[in-house]
Structure 1
Amino acid sequence: MKFSSNPGQKPESNRFESERSKGNQGRYQRRFLALGLLLIFLICPPSFLFSPGSVNLSESEYWQKTALTSSVVDSYIDRDLCYKNIMSFFGCLNAIRQVRSVIQDQELDLKIKENSDGNWAIKFRTTRKVQFKSLDKLLASLKTQSENRISEWKNLYNATLKQKLPFNTIIKKIISIGKPEDESMLSAVAVNSFVSYAHSPHDHILPLQMVNDQAQNQTEEYKGIGVILRPIASHLVVIRTLPDSPARRSGLLSGDILTKIQDKPVFDMSLSEASEAITRIKDDKVRIQFFRNGQTLKTTVVKTEVELKNVTFYKHNSKKNTWGVIRIDTFQKEETCADVEDALYNLETENKVDGLILDMRDNPGGLVDQALCVADLFLPKNIRMLEVRSFLSAKDVKVYTSKFQKVSSLPMITLVNSGTASSAEIVSGILRENNRTLIIGQRTYGKGTILSGQPFRAAPGKDIVHYQTFAQFYFPSGRSYHAKGINPDIELPSMASRSSSFRESDLPYYHILGALQTIDEDSSPYSNFYLSSELTRCTHLAQNQEEPTESAMSALGCLTASKNQ
């Protein structure tokens, strides 16, 4: 939605006029120079999500086209590299376990024991699959499994330091057990399983054709139910529902665990199988059964044309104030910042709102330059916003400052939850650290590193993209939110039952690293504006509301009134 005006004629008096481009057909000067392709995607690898875009081939067929061979594992998995450090050792064990699991099409655990003759025997056992009725219990179980596995693997590492295991021979032998046409895919599984432990949980390789197909198949509209799922240990978990989608209207919430589609069990079903099950339904009525906090619930979702709106906004009239709500769903489109500025123009000049609520719940992130541009809309010129510190060199630090005079000075609240990630966390953190907003909701996801997409050097000429984590974000205070998330100034406990509790720190990589640093318990950056007693009073008002948006409006009204007294 955009403000209605004649595109060929600008308003006579407009506080936004200085920011509007005079030579770009109504788009805006407020553009950061692109930070480069290295900074584009901050979200998890696309293969983890079921989104409206689709691919044209099976995963194995995409990898077949690259002609990748098992010789690639020599660059990662061999006797010496696997013992470089304990994380590399775990990566090699994970590669063996995952490749064999793919071949047998079931989750396996790995056991390596010393025989009486001094040799080491490798055994695989089927992991007992338990269907959980709540996401919290599922994640707790996975953490326990990881901790048990880590304990065993640590003992194995110490026991084999003198007589190192021939990992490259082992992994190649296991790959050879699979189908010949799957060699490329299994080799890729080995590489990805290794780097996800030894390097970063987000490092991975993908066929270039798959990347291109996924990008080309993303459309503004598609027929479906509008839900994004993540497979977690044989469970299909709702990560988020799209705005104004059939899934959202039917009552599905992030954190729900699907159990049946059209009366067919989906436990242990892949994303592609779930997508196909929904696509095959001819009468467009999709019967879904799911678990939520231990309860079994049912709903019927009617497939319709789903429009993928990136930015939406509306005004809300209360007894004393008019509030503007701007919802940013992702930062994956290059028009995101311009659309937010359109929304600001409409709300401030045409609707005369008294304050703003920036809703970024379940926003997975996207383009960094768009996130910085949006933050710039609310800040004066030359304000320090973000540091990007490279892992490759301590001297490689880039500092980003605001480039323009702020567009909006209205009081504002930012609404977040556990699904608010990466670029959305950048905006939230920048604005709070500069005393520009209060944050309401839940602790955010905690994704504060950057992926670089480069040709895969271990297999030159194979049309494979290697995504590597190469830098981390830091706010002006020097704090990083990575793996910790951003704590809200006002926590809304009621949101816990409405959103997924899966965060960055729930990935197995962090279980291996051990206990994370204590999450920073910052005092409210708004302390210069509001007394702690006022914030406490407004917190109580916010927490008494049922809906998060109503909580934000209540807090905004309370704090604005306190400031004006």
Structure 2
Amino acid sequence: MKLFSLKKTFFLIIVLLGLTATSFAISNDALRQQLKLFSETLSYINANYIEVPDQKELIYGAIQGMLSSLDPHSAFMKPETYQDFQTDTRGEFGGLGIQIAVRDRVLTIIAPIEDTPAYEAGLKAGDRIIRVEGETTEGMSVMDAIKVLRGEPGTDVTITIWREGLNVGKDFTITRDIIKVNSVRSKRYGDIGYIRISNFNENTSRELRNELDKLEKKPIQGVVLDLRNNPGGLLSQAIEVASAFIEPGKLIVYTEGRTATRNELSARRFDDKDRDYPMVVLVNQGSASASEIVSGALQDYQRAIVMGTTTFGKASVQTVIPLSDGSGMRLTTAEYFTPKGRAIQDVGIVPDIKVRSGKVVSDESSMDRVSPSAVPEHLMSDSEELDSDNGAPEDDLQLLRALDVLKALNAFGGTYSRN
């Protein structure tokens, strides 16, 4: 009876392969030969493996193998994993608070989300996850990693990180929690507004609108848009954020794939305000996907100066396809390009002004002191106003330089051009 069941399963698989081959008009002998090789392997496993194999797991494994051979972002999701995937962009989920990807065949942290267990534990963008609970992550897909890392709130998970500058892996034991993501916050530095977007979820555009309303109650002379360690999220929200600063109708991003026609996404009316103040966008290696779309569009139109370090370079389009048994797959079908046609995938957005992260360290005893009378009045007033409201961010060199650039542009009435 068991042998009959195996033969029946095998027959059905061959029929399905034949139907698939027909539906995709497979006509070359080489591909048919490879399908024959697959059927031979499956037949031999069923007949000779030491134990009766689980047919579903065999097929799942074959599908996963096919997809993982394509690129690091295409993946198969078993039914329970596919169900978990549906919660990823809804603003609240259980876990550690990190976005991950496979880079150079290694599970890599794109960025920790602010005010989450991972962020508080000290995980950083670019960290390589080499073990989870002592088990190697070699060959582990992103979907498999998410399933392992998530769990009941209040439970612990230990991950081993390899980080540049470390000779050995470092263990982090982190307590899982419900991740409630408030993606936008703001503050003022004198007449300059600061907006931090930590990720792009379904609430981002609404939160951005609220924060802009608060900032613009008093006149502002510029805005720093901080997208550092923002791993991305919903494309629709990236378009909304870019639309706040780019004229309606202008191209924000387009996609191109092997079979899909070019798909263009343009700015739309964000609100009833026209914002023409100067901007600086801060990015780093933890800025990915939707962050790169926004910064790339603002850079192409010279709407903002991009400052910091080169971004992650994750800008491929994964189409999520539900399958008949409740499982699903993510298949890379296209890539994103900036309005001027620049590729982002594996390249990233290169900043106009490169500034590495760090703190400002000064030795006042070795510096020549400048008399206040020697400082032009318009510069002195800007400096005093900056320091009087929340203080200059001496612990954040990149933000300090962004504020300096905006102050200089306003002081001398100039505009920035990359040409």
TM-score, normalised to structure 2, is 0.68
- Residue 166 (structure 1) shift: 5.1
Q: Give the AA of the match of 1:488.
A: P
Q: What does the per-residue CA deviation read over 1:368-401, in whole Å, with 9 as the maximum and x for residues that have no partner? A: 22211211110223323333334325xx333333
How many equivalent residue pairs? 355
Q: Give the AA of the match of 2:199.
A: T
2:227 corresponding residue in structure 1: 360
User: CA separation in 1, counterparts of 2:230 and 2:91?
Assistant: 17
Query: In the alignment, is the contact (CA less than 8 A) between 1:238 and 1:256 conserved in 2?
Result: yes
Taking only aligned residues, the RMSD between alpha carbons, in angstroms, comes to 4.3
Is the alpha carbon distance of 1:441 and 1:178 closer, same or farther for their aligned partners in structure 2, counting shifts above 3 Å?
farther
Query: In the alignment, is the contact (CA less than 8 A) between 1:250 and 1:299 conserved in 2?
Result: no
- Residue 489 (structure 1) shift: 0.8
2:341 matched to 1:478?
A: yes
2:208 matched to 1:330?
A: no
2:414 matched to 1:551?
A: no
Residue 418 of structure 1 is aligned with which of 285, 288, 299?
285
Partner of 1:349, secondary structure, is coil
Q: Give the AA of the match of 1:549.
A: L
User: CA separation in 1, counterparts of 2:170 and 2:328?
Assistant: 41
- Residue 267 (structure 1) shift: 4.3
Is the alpha carbon distance of 1:303 and 1:551 closer, same or farther for their aligned partners in structure 2, counting shifts above 3 Å?
farther
Q: What does the per-residue CA deviation read over 1:464-483, in whole Å, with 9 as the maximum and x for residues that have no partner? A: 43443333333332333233
Partner of 2:217, secondary structure, is helix
User: CA separation in 1, counterparts of 2:45 and 2:317?
Assistant: 31
RCO comparison, higher one (Cα < 8 Å, 6+): 1
The residue correspondences of 1:11-410 to structure 2 (distance < 5 A) are: 71=14, 75=20, 83=30, 167-173=37-43, 176=46, 177=49, 180=52, 182-197=54-69, 201-207=72-78, 210-216=81-87, 220=91, 225-229=96-100, 237-257=108-128, 265=134, 267-268=136-137, 271=145, 272=147, 275=150, 280-281=155-156, 290-295=161-166, 303=175, 307-317=179-189, 321-331=190-200, 333-349=201-217, 352-392=219-259, 396-404=261-269, 407-410=274-277
User: CA separation in 1, counterparts of 2:94 and 2:251?
Assistant: 43
Is the alpha carbon distance of 1:191 and 1:174 closer, same or farther for their aligned partners in structure 2, counting shifts above 3 Å?
farther
2:315 matched to 1:448?
A: yes
TM-score, normalised to structure 1, is 0.52
- Residue 436 (structure 1) shift: 0.6
Query: In the alignment, is the contact (CA less than 8 A) between 2:78 and 2:327 conserved in 1?
Result: yes
User: CA separation in 1, counterparts of 2:81 and 2:276?
Assistant: 44
Is the alpha carbon distance of 1:342 and 1:314 closer, same or farther for their aligned partners in structure 2, counting shifts above 3 Å?
same
Q: Give the AA of the match of 2:310.
A: R
The residue correspondences of 1:456-475 to structure 2 (distance < 5 A) are: 456=323, 461-475=324-338
What are structure 2's unaligned runs of at least 5 residues?
A: 1-8, 359-393
User: CA separation in 1, counterparts of 2:340 and 2:332?
Assistant: 23
User: CA separation in 2, counterparts of 1:555 and 1:193?
Assistant: 50
Is the alpha carbon distance of 1:194 and 1:218 closer, same or farther for their aligned partners in structure 2, counting shifts above 3 Å?
closer
User: CA separation in 2, counterparts of 1:390 and 1:233?
Assistant: 23
Partner of 1:313, secondary structure, is strand
